[in-house]
Amino acid sequence: MQNKQLKAWGLPTNLADQTYPRGLIMGRVVGQNHTMYKVKTAADERQAVFSGRLANLAIEAQDYPAVGDWVLLRENTASADMAIIERLLPRHSLFLRKAAGRKSAAQIVATNVDTVFICMALDENYNLNRLARYLVVAWDSGATPVVVLTKADLTNQLTQQVTQVTQMAAGAQVVTCSVTNDTWHSIVPYVRPSETVAFIGSSGVGKTTLINQLMGEQVGQTQAVRESDAHGRHTTTSRDLLQLPNGGLVIDTPGMRELSVLNGDFKTTFADIEDLARMCKFNDCTHTSEPGCAVQAAIQAGHLSQKRLEGYRQLSEEATTNQALHGKAREDAKLARMFGSKKQMKAVIKERRKHRR
């Protein structure tokens, strides 16, 4: 009974079929504001905090609940309207990025997404390398990417751009839309009842505008918080999962100034290059000047662009660097947990050495 309502919110069969400890209530995280979560249960929508944070248990960003997650709640006897998220249920997709700044902490963008709309505007936002960046992260998330070229009314090179994007996004569907005419309908077939879609892309590409179109008559009721940024523009600052009139579920994400790659799926995004690389004479070919390099041969023959190879190289190097940094950040976090802080850790080590002498 309970499950039927939750299925409308995207509850997958494998989670619905499990038995859970008595007294726990299942729900989906539909909003988050710092440490406070908004959870939709079959009966209501309630505020909750995460037990892992209270107990200082969670170690990594991935261990925290995020918008899109399925969780188990425990009623809080001390405070009737504040529940506790006791358990985070397994995810079928996880969109992760490196948090802004030099520290290489991972940050969850959204979870349990079925289709991710990678939005790129056909104005000065148009950038094929950035698109590749979004694609490697999106393919890695487990969701299916669809490239949405927005503001089609602002370009006079539509055909050429669509061709370039289609080549770059091999394997992913590409649609164009504009809200000034009715072409925004091109995204509608991907928004199916009980399935979750997420919109990602730079700030200002028109994500919220598209969501408002999907909301139809409910325009203005999107709950995303709109705040003015430094340039006085309105921008999305919180993440929310909304139910559309057609039963589809949508997650708006704050615009990203930069999407740094932590984990990426290069096999899918750059399948052409990875296929060629397997035919190189040397296993560790760097595709620069080695004899028998199939990648360079493809460039000479005009089957592959040098620019694409450079984009591939840059992104995979970035992923390697970020993973190394991330590994170090994880190690530091572990030490901090064991010793309180790096300073304390050093004090402990010093103390031990003294005793050994």
Ligand X SMILES: Nc1nc2c(ncn2[C@@H]2O[C@H](COP(=O)(O)OP(=O)(O)OP(=O)(O)O)[C@@H](O)[C@H]2O)c(=O)[nH]1
Q: Where in 224-263 is the site for ligand X (CB under 6 A)?
A: 235-236, 254-255
Which of these ranges, 19-27, 51-59, 207-215, 338-346, lies near ligand X under the rule CB under 6 A?
A: 207-215
Tokens at 47, concatenated: 């505020």
Cβ atoms of 10 and 28 within 8 Å: the answer is yes
Q: What is the DSSP string of 173-223?
A: EEEE--SSSGGGGGGGGG--TT-EEEEE-STTSSHHHHHHHHHGGGTT---
Known binding residues for Zn(2+) are: 280, 285, 287, 293
Q: Does 154 bind ligand X (CB under 6 A)?
A: yes
- Pick from 116, 122, 132, 295: which binds Zn ion (CB under 5 A)? 295
- Cβ distance to ligand X smaller for residue 142 or 254: 254
Known binding residues for GTP are: 150-153, 201-209
What is the nearest approach in angstroms of Zn ion to the Cβ of residue 268? 20
- Pick from 293, 298, 299, 309: which binds Zn ion (CB under 5 A)? 293
Q: Does 148 bind ligand X (CB under 6 A)?
A: no
What is the nearest approach in angstroms of Zn ion to the Cβ of residue 99? 34
Q: Does 205 bind ligand X (CB under 6 A)?
A: yes
By a kind-dependent CB cut-off of 5 to 8 A, residue 285 interacts, out of ligand X, Zn ion, none, with Zn ion
What is the nearest approach in angstroms of Zn ion to the Cβ of residue 304? 11
Mapping DSSP to helix (H, G, I), strand (E, B) and coil, where does residue 16 land?
A: helix
Tokens at 6, concatenated: 């939750």
CA distance linking residue 66 with residue 101, whole number of Å = 20
Known binding residues are: 150-153, 201-209, 280, 285, 287, 293
What are the backbone dihedrals phi and psi of residue 93, each rounded to the nearest 5 degrees, phi first? -155, 150
Cβ atoms of 27 and 70 within 8 Å: the answer is yes
Q: Phi-psi region for residue 107, left (φ > 0), alpha (ψ -120 to 50) or beta?
A: beta
Q: Does 209 bind ligand X (CB under 6 A)?
A: yes
Q: Does 155 bind ligand X (CB under 6 A)?
A: no
- Cβ distance to Zn ion smaller for residue 151 or 308: 308
Look up tokens 């669509």; give the residue.
Answer: 162
- Cβ distance to ligand X smaller for residue 229 or 317: 229
Q: Does 299 bind Zn ion (CB under 5 A)?
A: no
Closest-approach residue to ligand X (CB): 255
Amino acid (1-letter code) at residue 64: Y
- Is residue 243 within a helix (H) or strand (E), and if so which, with residue range? strand 239-243
Give, in order, the Cα–Cα distances in Å from 127 to each of 22, 123, 124, 310, 345: 52, 9, 8, 14, 46
CA distance linking residue 38 with residue 249, whole number of Å = 15
Q: Does 158 bind ligand X (CB under 6 A)?
A: no
By a kind-dependent CB cut-off of 5 to 8 A, residue 150 interacts, out of Zn ion, ligand X, none, with ligand X
- Cβ distance to Zn ion smaller for residue 38 or 287: 287
CA distance linking residue 244 with residue 216, whole number of Å = 9
Query: Nearest to residue 175, comparing CAs of 249, 222, 122?
Result: 122
Q: Does 177 bind Zn ion (CB under 5 A)?
A: no
**Count of Cβ atoms closer than 10 Å to residue 88 Cβ:** 21
Taking residues 243 to 282 in sequence order and writing x for each that binds Zn ion by CB under 5 A, - otherwise, the string is -------------------------------------x--
Residues lying near ligand X in the complex (CB under 6 A) are found at: 150-151, 153-154, 178-180, 203-209, 235-236, 254-255
